[in-house]
Amino acid sequence: MPADTTHALGADQSEGEHEIARIFALQKAAYLQNPFPSYDRRIAGLDKLIQLIETNEDAFVKAISADFGCRSKHETIIAEMLVMVSGARMAKKSLKNWMRPRGVPTPLHMLPAKSKLEPQPLGVVGIIAPWNYPVSLALAPAIAAIAAGNRVMLKPSELTARTSDVMREAIGSVFDEDEFAVVVGGVETGQAFAETPFDHLLFTGSTNIGMRVAMAAAKNLTPVTLELGGKSPAIIDDSADIEKATNPIAYGKMLNAGQTCVAPDYVLTPMNKLDATADAIAAAARMLYPEIDTTADYTSIISDRHFARLKAMVEEARDRGARIIEVGSSNALYPQRKLPLTLVIDPPADAAVMKEEIFGPILPILPVGSTDEAITRINKGERPLALYWFGEDTDARDRVLQQTISGGVTINDTLWHVAQEHLPFGGVGKSGIGAYHGRAGFETFSHLKPVFYQSRFASGGLLHPPYTEKTEKTLSFVRKIL
């Protein structure tokens, strides 16, 4: 067995590396033949993306559900298909404007010259996609990269192998390999992919793996966009209506069974409303998913390993004195891997549920005495990917916005800032590097080339040697107008 395993891994590595190198060379050559695809060609690429999403919707829905064990058809359509089509159509409407060279001010002493930023495709873009939203987190960056005029190589997750196979077939049916291609494989293939000298590499996944991807890319000085995760807080201000606040918190946490990078990771609520908050979140969860073991609306945990990790987190918190509230039936724990929403009331600060990104339907709820205490708690940790604030006190809201740093924020709801294509999506610090979506994505995958157009009436020659009294007079004039 060990020998067979080693051989299989070696074969995967060799075959994967060969396929990556072959496609990369093909796309690089195609880019060099046409380094600035026309507006019409880019629109055609976006149309192909819309076509493959709409044509393969049923296949994606079935494959994703099979990969997870159970995932709602409606959840997949809402969180993946609609989001992708919306993003691609917005890019089509905006592309002409995004491609246009942008004039920037030219200082008085340089006039009548002109200055512009001219967007230029980078070349070949690599995308490493995760398993939790295997279609949208693969194709959203591809939309931006294709709009910017690039060639794209995609490495989807091996944990959602059925979806990856559908993705490869769907993309191959509408795109030539030198435009957009999919490479499948395991960890070794992923490592080889990250070490490929792309013109830009986007990775979505955990912070730990993101660090390894960044180090691999650094060997080629490949610029990276890292979409990671972290402990995203939901703050319930004293001015909030508890029922109105807790419904979107429950939804944001239970969508995809909490396997969402921007899911609320813990709740900070006023000390005197701790029990009311827990009761309201539990009530909201029961309304959303009355019986998790009988409804197809609630998603399974992706694997036995992740399921065991989540259960261990809960048991550690319980053993250390935290109060545990399970919301929903536990009849489907095995083999369906459906984990009830599990509220963990006031766990220790060094418990695993408070130190690690949870990535599942476990929600710690902690009491705080004030807005300042909430801010202090958040700032003690790493900067989160998302932050959610609920309430009516605009002064408290603005203090939180000004005194905390997070990748993005939704006020009086959860998740929505990610779906707003005109807002950049990305992290800060250990929750990520760079951003995409909408125009931000176009610019991430473009080089905004600075171009200075000198005028034939330029007077810069007056500052050339040999230096004379005329030079002194010119310098004196320039100093006055600077």
Joined tokens for residue 263: 């899911």
Q: Return the axis-axis angle of helices 2-33 and 187-194, rounded to nearest 10°.
A: 30
> Within 13 A of 441's CA, how many CA atoms are on the CB side?
31
Q: Which of 227, 382, 421, 443 is catalytic?
A: 227
Q: Which of 261, 357, 382, 443 is catalytic?
A: 261
Cα–Cα dist 436/162, whole Å: 27
Cα–Cα dist 316/312, whole Å: 6
Cα–Cα dist 455/450, whole Å: 16
In a 3-state reduction of DSSP, which class is residue 196? coil
- Report the Cα 147 to chain-centroid distance in Å: 18
Cα–Cα dist 407/424, whole Å: 9
Distances (CA, A) of 243 to 269, 283, 286, 341: 13, 9, 13, 17
Cα–Cα dist 238/274, whole Å: 11
> Within 13 A of 94's CA, how many CA atoms are on the CB side?
20
Active site residue 17: no
Active site residue 169: no
Write out the catalytic residue numbers: 227, 261
